Amino acid sequence: MSPVLYTVTGADRPGVTAGLLESLHASGAEVVDAEQIVIRGELVLCLLLRMELTQRYEVTESLRRAAAAEGMHLAVDDEPAVEDPRRRGRVLVTVMGEPLCPTALAGVTRRIADLGGNIDRIERLAGYPLVVLRLTVSGAHEAALREALAAESAAGGLDLAVQRMALARRGTHLVVMDVDSTLIQDEVIELIARHAGCEERVREVTEAAMRGELDFAESLRARVALLEGVPASALDEVRDAVRLTPGARTLCRTLKRLGYRIAVVSGGFSQVVAPLAASLGVDYALANELEVADGRLTGRVVGPIVDRRGKADALRRFAEASGIPLEQTVAIGDGANDVDMISLAGLGIAFNAKPALKAAADTSVNVPYLDAVLHVLGISREEIDAADEDDRATTAAAALTSPGTPRN
């Protein structure tokens, strides 16, 4: 009972697939596999059916008549299938471009082919503001593919992500993000330093630490010491000045709608991070705490410093608290301070990152939109738009029921 592959092509319309399958009602055939895609109104339906040899003619003729009645074409492949061992061990390759040119996509597919990989499926996840395609690839070694596509990303100006199929399976995941220069566009300590007149000195130390040239804990103490005497009220002004990275709110809103847990871990300061996390619906937040005495910063931090090891420890604790295995965690960051948590997570994403982090990450995203990470996770533009629509509806409902709001 070797399965037979039937491929139906033609103009799509409501009820076509139902009519084709209903034609097999009395045939005794079993569905082994099925896949369907519609592009610009043209349908391609593949049905892999198992049946007794004596039923094959009847099944084929039933489908042929049903396809003809719909003005469609039927192709039949009844050659016995031989499993290609290269098809084992599939990975997902996400391609993002703005725009996505045929030449760039050709470069990606050629790299895959040169490594012995086969593209089993291509699907579109988004058409704006980025064009995002997801390729299911079999037969290529994951590490070699990641290395080759990293080179292609640099050459072709594309963002390319490679990940194991297991990570893409839906279920509860934990997404852990860095804050400064990831969730937000700013470095909070530099905003505070403006009030102390030492912003440039602090920035120089920050950049060296993010490149991995300085020990983070040591550099943090040196920078915080420069803030001694700044009024604690300056932290309120800093909170108001913080700019979210484009797409950050959309990222959090969509993840929450789809049941993800979200955490932020920061080498910055809880006085700014905690209110920001609360406003975005973040489940867990960890940051350093600035010491305040008599209404002014003392130039010291309270408690253990959240450094690169501390970030990885936090990811592990948050995963355990959520009952989520490490292989279903995602870490996003931009600097050397994020290397340990990026390496620990099931998927490590370097977002517009320094070279030290890119080298450790599973994949890099270099567009300026944080919600592009959603596509790396296999989330479509339609799901993102649905989350936006839900948020607008919730906001409108809240406005109607708030005190003092006129009711119709």
Preceding omega of 368 cis (within 30 degrees of 0): no
Determine which one of 12, 84, 114, 178 is catalytic: 178
β-pairing verdict for 73-77 and 30-39: unpaired
Give the single-character DSSP code of 81: P
End-to-end CA distance of the chain: 66
Q: Is 84 known to be catalytic?
A: no
Amino acid at position 81, single letter: A
Cα–Cα distances in angstroms (integers) from residue 114 to residues 102, 108, 139, 148, 150, in the given order? 18, 10, 11, 10, 15
Which among 159, 180, 313, 362 is annotated as catalytic?
180
Rounded to 5 degrees, φ, ψ at 108 are: -65, -50
Task: Strands of 279-344 (E only): list them.
Answer: 284-293, 296-302, 329-333
Helices (H), ranges, 28-141: 56-69, 102-114
- The answer to whether residue 313 is catalytic is no
105/337 Cα distance (integer angstroms): 33
Point out which residues pair with 333 in neighbouring strands: 350
Q: How far apart are CA 288 and CA 300, in angstroms?
A: 10
Give the CB-side neighbour count of residue 135, counting CA atoms within 13 A.
23
Residue of 336, 337, 315, 335 lying closest to 326 (CA atoms): 315
User: Are 252 and 262 a contacting pair, CB within 8 Å?
Assistant: yes
Gap between the Cα atoms of 203 and 295, Å rounded: 25
- β-pair partners for 332: 177, 349
Catalytic center residues: 178, 180
